[in-house]
Structure 1
Amino acid sequence: MPHRPTPPRKKAFARALRHEPTEAEARLWEELRDRRLDGIKFRRQVSFDPYIADFFCAQAKLVIEVDGSQHGGSISDRSRTAFFNGLGLRVLRFWNDEVLQEMSPVCDTIIAYVRDQTLQPWR
């Protein structure tokens, strides 16, 4: 995966996002941090200039995005996904409500996608 240096402003923005997560991002991070989810390493608010991924698992080349209703079918989300796919990454998206109300199935899905890299996201 080619790496471009992250501009300082982008780094600062990613850092700010880490300090002010949405409720759903904060709850999911509690499950993912410190290898709590099945021993899998995740990072949050990872810069892939020009985008910032909510969560990233390098081992599985998996980006996880947590979206609110404003993202429903948005063109910018399709562009983000295409960009990440172009880097050889898969993008797994969950709605905020899924994370907040169905954490166990969300975590089970993430584990399945990390363990089986042939799985392709459905949205």
Structure 2
Amino acid sequence: MTLISSYSAFEEFIMTTPEKAVLKKRARGMRQNMTPQELKFWLFCLKRLPFHFRRQDVKSPFIADFTCRKAKLIIEIDGTQHDSDCGKSYDEWRSGKLNEKGYMVLRFTNEDIEKRFTVVCDMVLHTTETRIKELESKR
């Protein structure tokens, strides 16, 4: 086990049960109140792919919009709140933390979903296939 994965396991361990319960409840609420772009992406892209994706998946201490655990791939659909310097900085930090846990993070904007939907879906399909092959070859 590497130092990074040991630290990630430690981070996961120190999350208290009440904190995990709060995250799970929040994720459940987010699944029930998806943005129009998230809903479109879920129904007309991810659910049609031959891979299992989860919506609003808890990756302590974060909640990822969509996760394919087999590919260790997280997909984020970002609204305009992510356009600010503060939002961009936080997203970069958060993606770095998820990368340390072995996840690749793909970010798309609401505009990408609205105007380049087919391109986004093709990119997700290709990236998911590639990641699964890469991870399986390392086993």
Q: Where does residue 39 of structure 2 map in the other structure? A: 26
Structure 1 gaps, min length 5: 119-123
Please tell me whether residue 85 in structure 1 is matched to residue 99 in structure 2: yes
CA distance in structure 2 between the partners assigned to 1:44 and 1:100 by the alignment? 19
CA distance in structure 2 between the partners assigned to 1:115 and 1:82 by the alignment? 22
Residue type matched to 1:28 in 2?
F
Give 1:102 shift: 1.6
Once the two structures are superposed, what CA deviation does each residue of 1:60-98 show, in whole Å capped at 9, x if it has no partner? Answer: 110000001221252110111011101000000000011
Q: Matched residue of 2:57: which SS?
A: strand
Aligned length: 115
Identity %: 36
What TM-score comes out, normalization by structure 1 length? 0.86
Q: Where does residue 58 of structure 2 map in the other structure? A: 47
What TM-score comes out, normalization by structure 2 length? 0.76
Give 1:59 shift: 1.4
Moved over 3 A (4+): 1-6
Q: Which has the larger radius of gyration?
A: 2
The alignment's C-alpha RMSD in Å is 1.7
Structure 2 gaps, min length 5: 135-139
Structure showing the higher helix proportion among its residues: 2
